[in-house]
Structure 1
Amino acid sequence: MNLQLSPAKETLSAMSISGKVILYTGAAGGLGTDTTLSFLRGGARVVAIDNDESKTRALLDAAAREGLKGLTVRVIDLSDLLGLRAELDRLTGEVGGIDVVINNAAIYPSKPFEEYGIEDFQAVQRVNVDAGIVCVQAALPHMRKQGWGRIVNISSVTVYGGWANLAPYVQSKGALVGLTRAWAREFGAYGITVNAVAPGAFPTDAEKIHPDPEGYTRFVLEHQAVKRRGSPADIAAALTFLISDAAGFITGQTLNVDGGWVMH
């Protein structure tokens, strides 16, 4: 008897991330913790990279409370690119190769452009972009060998304009969009897709730089078509789709997860 899945079941099967090994930077941050837990619930193994020891402990505790398996945590200073590569090479050997890279970690200083030194721009670029390059270089040989891989760069709604005093951050997020397209073109022949996600204004620690939180929330909702604040589940759903087989014919794209702030 030839049993076939229904279209709905085929779609759900294609969305599976079970057994995938995900390298996730900034995995213990505001959006990172909840999305990491979502990946673990889906049966993935997550190599969580963060530079905040207290947040990584909280992530480990949260996974333990749910009885979730497959989490590996490393506290790493992403600005130390040589140290990062050495640790990733060790981790790759431990987990047997990285299937998915999500470049999420970022720093976001805020002040008028003329108050930034070139060293400030370089420091942001080093963490927000260069560390992601190192992650992809470490994971790429395994992806090419198996003929399958997923890379997702976390960009930002700020690249579309509307925010002052964030020039180095916006520059770095724009660079990730450029790398997304360059990598997508170069890696596609090996069964590797590369996409970007541009989150809107989500309630995270990054919002603490705003002196008027209530006014900022009003500003956000005025710009969104959907009149609610985004949640980590919104990002988790987008990421799960992009790293699954269901998105295997989508590459070089930037997906705006922002409640309709930016529309193309």
Structure 2
Amino acid sequence: MKGRTALYTGAAGGLGFETTLLMIERGATVVAVDRNRTNLAELEQAARDRGPGRLLTSDADMGDLVAYRAVLEGLLAEVGGFDIVINNAGIYPAKPFEEFALEEYQAVQRVNVDAGVLAVQVCLPGMKERGFGRIINISSITVSGGWENLSPYVASKMALIGLTRAWAREFGPAGVTVNAIAPGAFPTDAEKIHPDPEGYERMVLDAQAIKRRGHAGDIANAIAFFTSDESGFITGQTLHVNGGWTMN
């Protein structure tokens, strides 16, 4: 990844942290956008001796699209363009469908989908000019069904798969690939919404063909592949990294 520059949203969270460090180890400049300033500080500390790449951070609010566009345009000017966009940031409120106000539903779409659309709008012209680009949308195993009380989140993650296919078709002639990764159940902060953690873990292991929990490195390796030159003939695809929970 030497010489590549990546925009990575939600980069300081459970799955983004390890991927960011891996990309820095492989020589990339990573611009990490995350609303959690504490997590960003921990990422900055971890990245200090990981070179030869470098880390820049921003605690932008992706729920405010007007302000977020200004932040993205400022970052773009600072680094001179992005070769890679990883749309990973997401919020996941959980409750029965009929309890969601429309404004709450729209807030999930704004952060999980619209902010990613905005990032691609800002970064795509430079990718086309250089004839190279890698866009990766982080979806979710929840789109396969089987989860209750997450309808806005599931809708947003399925929207990313649709955008992956539409963008892959449209951007391919310019040398830009677009793929999605759908992680399975990983032990991150997102699992804290479950009232019975031990029961949930048993359910996960029973469902998976591989009888261990996934770890952040599993996602980091998948992202590294999709950002590489070796994946240049793969586009419009969704890679399910879930230990064989679902098989597509």
1:101 aligns with 2:85: yes
- Provide the secondary structure at the position in 2 that maps to 1:97: coil
- Which runs of 5 or more residues in structure 1 are unaligned? 1-16
Whichever residue aligns with residue 222 of structure 1, its letter is D
In structure 1, distance between residues paired with 2:128 and 2:35:
29
Deviation at 1:94, TM superposition (A): 1.0
Count of residues in Structure 1 that have an aligned counterpart in Structure 2 = 248
Q: Which amino acid aligns with 1:233?
A: G
Q: How does 1:1-264 map to 2 (within 5 A)?
A: 17-66=1-50, 69-264=53-248
Q: Would the aligned equivalents of 2:2 and 2:53 in 1 still touch at CA under 8 Å?
A: no
The Cα of 1:164 is off from its aligned counterpart by 0.3
Deviations 1:68-109 (A, max 9, x none): 641000010001111111111111111110000000000000
Quote the RMSD (CA, aligned, Å): 0.9
Equivalent residue of 1:261, what SS?
coil
Task: State how far apart, in whole Å, the 2-side matches of 1:200 and 1:63 are.
Answer: 26
Once superposed, which parts of structure 1, at least 4 consecutive aligned residues long, lie more than 2 Å away? 65-69
The answer as to whether partners of 1:46 and 1:70 remain within 8 angstroms in 2 is yes
Shift of residue 65, structure 1, vs aligned partner: 4.8
Unaligned ranges ≥5, structure 2:
none
**Which secondary structure does the structure 1 equivalent of 2:72 belong to?**
helix
Structure-1 separation of matches of 2:113 and 2:154: 11
Which of the two has higher C-alpha Rg? 1
Q: Kindly indicate whether the alpha-carbon contact (under 8 Å) linking 2:24 and 2:50 is maintained by their aligned counterparts in 1.
A: no
Give the letter for the 1:59 counterpart.
L
Q: Is the 8 A contact 1:18 1:42 kept in 2?
A: yes
State the distance in 2 between where 1:175 and 1:93 align.
29
| Contact 2:141 2:240 (C-alpha < 8 Å) held by counterparts | yes
CA distance in 2, matches of 1:103, 1:215: 31
TM-score, with normalisation over the residues of structure 1?
Answer: 0.92
Identity %: 62
How far the C-alpha of 1:229 sits from its partner, in A, is 0.3
Q: Is the 8 A contact 1:102 1:154 kept in 2?
A: yes
Cα distance in 1 between the residues matched to 2:76 and 2:172: 22
